[in-house]
Structure 1
Amino acid sequence: MADFDISQLMQQAQQMREQMEYLQKGLAEQSVEGSAGGGVVTVKITGAQQVTAVEISDAALEDREMLQDLIVAAVNNAIEKSKALAQDRLGSMLPPGMFPGGMPNL
């Protein structure tokens, strides 16, 4: 039976943490776009889920309630895409099945 090397395990954990930090920084620099109403409202959001822009077409300005609903839908669409981006980037570092259904808090 092989000896258990705690220092090697700690070194691997440190490397994994550094990789996660690097990938998370990269996510903050990438962006995705969500939209609603066939592009009437478009929201840009980073991979770290920070909204960076909201674009609203003139057609949406006539109906306030519809505009509010479209903004919510576009933000939610962008968040879903941001989570998928994070899952794709960060999930590749984790053992298969570690977080079924997605990574927590992303």
Structure 2
Amino acid sequence: MKDLGGLMKQAQAMQQKLADAQARLAEMVVEGTSGGGMVTVVLKGSGELAEVKLDESLLAPGEGEVISDLIVAAHADAKRKLDAKQADLMREAAGPLAGMGIPGLKF
């Protein structure tokens, strides 16, 4: 039988790394853009939409549909970036257990 005390210490260390990674995720902020930078959205680590920035040239009459499409595209860009950062952070925290298919550990 392997050293149970050593395994417990490893599990506690990994648990602490995962807790630290979750705290870092909560503080994370990412930006997504579309329309060549005409629309920018800011997402918090939780996925919450924190800010929308619009180029003033989009505020002309008749641009409502374009603005809507650009906001959706910018949000999708930010969400992809956030998901990638979250996955990287969790892989880093899980160390050798990353990719082992352990329930509750998604990467």
The TM-score range, normalised by the shorter chain, is 0.7 to 0.9
- Report percent identity of matched pairs: 35
Q: Which position in structure 2 is the counterpart of 1:98?
A: 99
- Judge conservation of contact 1:24–1:48 (CA < 8 Å) in 2: no
Q: Partners in 2 of 1:90 and 1:38 — Cα distance?
A: 31
- Which sections of structure 2, spanning at least 5 residues, go unmatched? none
Runs of 4+ aligned structure 1 residues displaced above 6 Å come to: none
Q: TM (normalized to structure 2)?
A: 0.77
How far, CA to CA, are the matches of 2:57 and 2:65 in structure 1? 13
Q: How many residues align?
A: 101
- Higher mean C-alpha displacement, 30-39 vs 44-53: 44-53
- Over 3 Å counting, the alpha-carbon distance change for 1:51 and 1:99 in structure 2 is farther
What RMSD in Å do the two structures reach over aligned CA positions? 2.4
Structure 1 unmatched runs, 5+: none
Distance 1:86 1:12 in 2: 22
Normalization by structure 1: what TM-score?
A: 0.78
